[in-house]
A and B are shown apart, each in its own frame.
Chain A
């Protein structure tokens, strides 16, 4: 877009022609001519962005009924600005403003009458909880900020807007608690947001990928949530939240690995139950990507670790399978991934079919046909269930991918291969940072105090004493 400093013309028609040219004669640009105090005047707006009722009530009605010397006092819109540069007017049109020109005045007026077609505030479907607030962010940034402000009504809650995108800028809000957040962190986020140079930001995922510390890592370094209560809790812990206009996702930074294993539900449950559930989730981290590898290592290298009774059961089910365990595992994992992806895209009414195809046809027939063994089905099913225990979808996908390299390592070198794979993985995790904060936080660097809210969920009065060194 060429920057231009064209100021207002003396006649209304000239102004209108200029705007029409700038918008390439788009058809939804509406112009309403009339006379104000016998002077030709015009109201210009984009039909698709304004609410006709508001225009009628706040702009047209006052113009008809009254006459005043000062137009600024006449209009009853929420917002009114006076501009000279036509370029500002064009920007305003894009955001749902109406422009009012009167012949002979050296300025024009921008008046708000934005259309609102938002969906209602509903609970996010993939983040449903049992107890607690059942609201969720929507595609309107103002409403989302309203939800946060409603929760945290203190002046310390600070919002900063950025317009990101060179061709089609979109508003991004950076939200933080002024008194709780490290200034360094705020500056870092601000700097990274400003450094984005892209034509257009299509979704929150764009921001995420452009500003994270290590885009080549498989692990997510932002926590995504559509829950205001979840976001609010992180704000109160001194994290920075980013939200994109038109996207219901809040991006929270910095996060540690363990944040992906926590849900708001944990804090609504009794602490012992919450601790148990959290422990199970962390256990699922291990089973979700190591179980197939472990199984492959056992049946191809270390059969001696099996108890004797199990030995024969496994052997019996393996005898009819014609290829190596890795192939068997890969085949079944791929079938499972197919089913999962297919189930995701199908409408829920057809979705049941997938259950039948996956569960009955493939599950049973594939063994009877001798493609895979029963034990492999058990292993893959266990793995699949474990991977869905993880509350965060990104983490769950990351873990699902991780098992393939580990499976190969296991089939190459057995248990030693797994150990090497895990060593590499943990080296990577230890090195990883989310906005300068260590990703594996209470574990590396080790801070026993913070274990209270990482592996377990201690009673709230024990956690809330701000343990030092927490990613505040």
Chain B
């Protein structure tokens, strides 16, 4: 009898008090969906957080609140914030992390440390964005149209990726890899306010952990293509002159993101220790718009191909110049050196020597489809 009673008591205790020590009930959580970090003038960190307030009933929509706090570190700012917001603020479903340019220039290691150190913070699916001015301003918009700011930013990133403005997706995990890899740098999408709207500005280039330069939107697409990747669409619009008889100029829109890209990327070391990089891509374009009067017969297409190839090659060279200026080794030339030319790598001071790398870039475009009219 006593044993049965003991068993029953144990069962009741277990049923009522289980997991008391480490559970975290879903209903008690207040979710921070998007977070922005900025550096204030007095070198403190300002954190702006979008909190999602669960609906009162199942059918109604969620609402959001924006809160701001400052502290000496990200965690410090979070703690300050926790004093102010209601309940238990959690970042477990954090989707977007915005970092202001001022903070990015000072390096990402410090503000991101807490994310990597504490396993309760997600890293694998958190997208990072760089704001060209104050990141807090963007989150403070609270709502863009019908969408809450966090939702807007995540869908914005998806559409940027689809347009090949930024691809492959860079999450906190991949950024961490690049941060810790001496032979590999990274870039992050750059957004900013244009009037009342949040617009993509291109990509922010990083050297080591520091913001060091940027590319505009068209260059960003080319950068993605140079990496041999495409997010599904990569559209360019060029003004071009192909008519040999009349000299009318015509607008040409084409998409190179639909087809697979052939890429050759070779890193060679010359006898004198110079590093030569051959980076060629072959693009296959689908013509989407052509406003000229000249019929696009085989001859015209051949000429177009030539014209476009030379235009894009020079654009690509510009992109690489920008990259070298920003010391951003986004293609991982250093990684190749570490792997295949290790003695050379050891002699190099990659921070300086990356800028001395000789890039031999060539972009070849061939139009394979003109749509259903010629």
Known A298-B26, A308-B33, A311-B31; contact A316-B18, beta-carbon cutoff 8 A? no
Q: How far is the CA of A301 from the CA of B20 in the complex (A)?
A: 11
Q: Among A308, A315, A408, which residue has its beta carbon within 8 angstroms of that of B29?
A: A315
Q: Using known A-B contacts A314-B26, A319-B27, A321-B27, determine if residue A303 contacts B16 with beta carbons closer than 8 Å.
A: no
Query: Which residues does chain B contribute within 8 Å of A253, judged by CB atoms?
Result: none
Say yes or no: B58 contacts A304, CB within 8 Å.
no
A330 vs B95: C-alpha distance when bound (angstroms): 34
Size range of the chain A interface in the assembly:
20 to 34
A327 vs B16: C-alpha distance in the bound complex, in angstroms?
7
Q: Mark B30-54, 1 if CB is under 8 A from A, else 0.
A: 0101000000000000000000101
Is A411 an interface residue when CB atoms closer than 8 A count as contact? yes
Interface residues of B in 51-77 (CB under 8 A from A): 52, 54-58, 60, 62
Contact of B33 with A319 in the complex, beta carbons under 8 Å: no
- Are A318 and B18 interface neighbours, CB within 8 A? no
Residue A413 CB within 8 A of the other chain = yes
**Residues A411 and B26 in contact in the complex (CB < 8 Å), given A304-B93, A308-B33, A312-B54:** no
Do B55 and A316 touch across chains, with their CB atoms under 8 A apart? yes
Residues of A close to B29: CB separation below 8 A: 303, 315
Does the CB pair A315–B14 fall under 8 Å? Answer: no
- CB within 8 Å for A315 and B54 given contacts A326-B18, A408-B14: yes
For B57, list chain A residues within 8 Å (CB). 316
Q: Which residues of the partner chain B approach A327 to less than 8 Å between Cβ atoms?
A: 15-16
Q: Is A397 an interface residue (CB 8 A)?
A: no
Residue A299 CB within 8 A of the other chain: yes
Q: A317-B58, A319-B27, A321-B27 are in contact. Are A312 and B18 (CB under 8 A)?
A: no
A413 to B62, CA, bound (A): 30
Residue B117 lies at the interface, judged by CB distance under 8 Å to chain A: no
Inter-chain contact A326/B15, CB cutoff 8 Å:
yes
Measured between beta carbons, the chain A residues less than 8 angstroms from B24 are 300-301, 303
What is the chain B residue whose CB lies nearest that of A367? B58
Complex CA gap A319/B62 in Å reads 13
Q: Are B19 and A312 in contact (CB under 8 A)?
A: no
Binary interface encoding of chain B residues 283-306 relative to chain A, with 1 for a CB under 8 A from any of its CBs, else 0:
000000000000000000000000
CB proximity of A378 to chain B, nearest CB, Å:
11
Interface size classification for chain B: 20 to 34
Say how far B197's CB is from chain A's closest CB, in angstroms.
Answer: 24
Docked Cα-Cα span, A330 to B93, in Å, equals: 28
- A412 and B18 in contact (CB under 8 A), knowing A316-B58, A319-B54? yes
Assess whether B23 is interfacial by the CB under 8 Å rule.
yes
**Contact flag A304-B92 (CB < 8 Å), given A316-B55, A316-B56, A316-B57:** yes
In this complex, the member of B22, B27, B55, B60 whose beta carbon has the largest number of chain A beta carbons within 10 angstroms is: B27
Are B92 and A300 within 8 A (Cβ)?
no
Q: Is A324 an interface residue (CB 8 A)?
A: yes
In the complex the two chains form, what is the Cα distance from A327 to B13 in whole Å?
Answer: 12
Residues of A within 8 A of B22 (CB): 301
With a cutoff of 8 Å between Cβ atoms, the chain B residues found around residue A317 in the complex are 58
Are B14 and A312 within 8 A (Cβ)?
no
Residues of B within 8 A of A163 (CB): none
Q: Mark A398-417, 1 if CB is under 8 A from B, else 0.
A: 00000000001001111000
Q: A374 an interface residue at 8 Å Cβ cutoff?
A: yes
Taking each of A314, A315, A330, A414, which has the highest tally of chain B beta carbons within 10 Å of its own beta carbon?
A: A315
B25 at the binding interface (Cβ < 8 Å): yes
Q: Which residues of B contact A414 (CB under 8 A)?
A: 19, 23
Closest to B27 in A: A318
Q: Which of A306, A319, A413 contacts B19 (CB 8 A)?
A: A413
- Interface contact A412-B19, CB-CB below 8 Å: yes
Q: Is B243 an interface residue (CB 8 A)?
A: no
The 3 closest A-B pairs by CB, nearest first: A318-B27, A304-B92, A299-B26
A-B contact pairs, 7 of them (CB 8 A): A300-B24, A301-B22, A311-B31, A316-B62, A324-B18, A324-B23, A408-B15
Show the binding face of A for B, using Cβ within 8 Å: 298-301, 303-304, 306, 308, 311-319, 321, 324-327, 330, 374, 408, 411-414
Given contacts A314-B26, A324-B16, 12 further A-B contacts (CB under 8 A): A299-B27, A300-B25, A301-B24, A304-B93, A306-B26, A308-B33, A308-B93, A315-B29, A321-B27, A325-B25, A327-B16, A411-B23
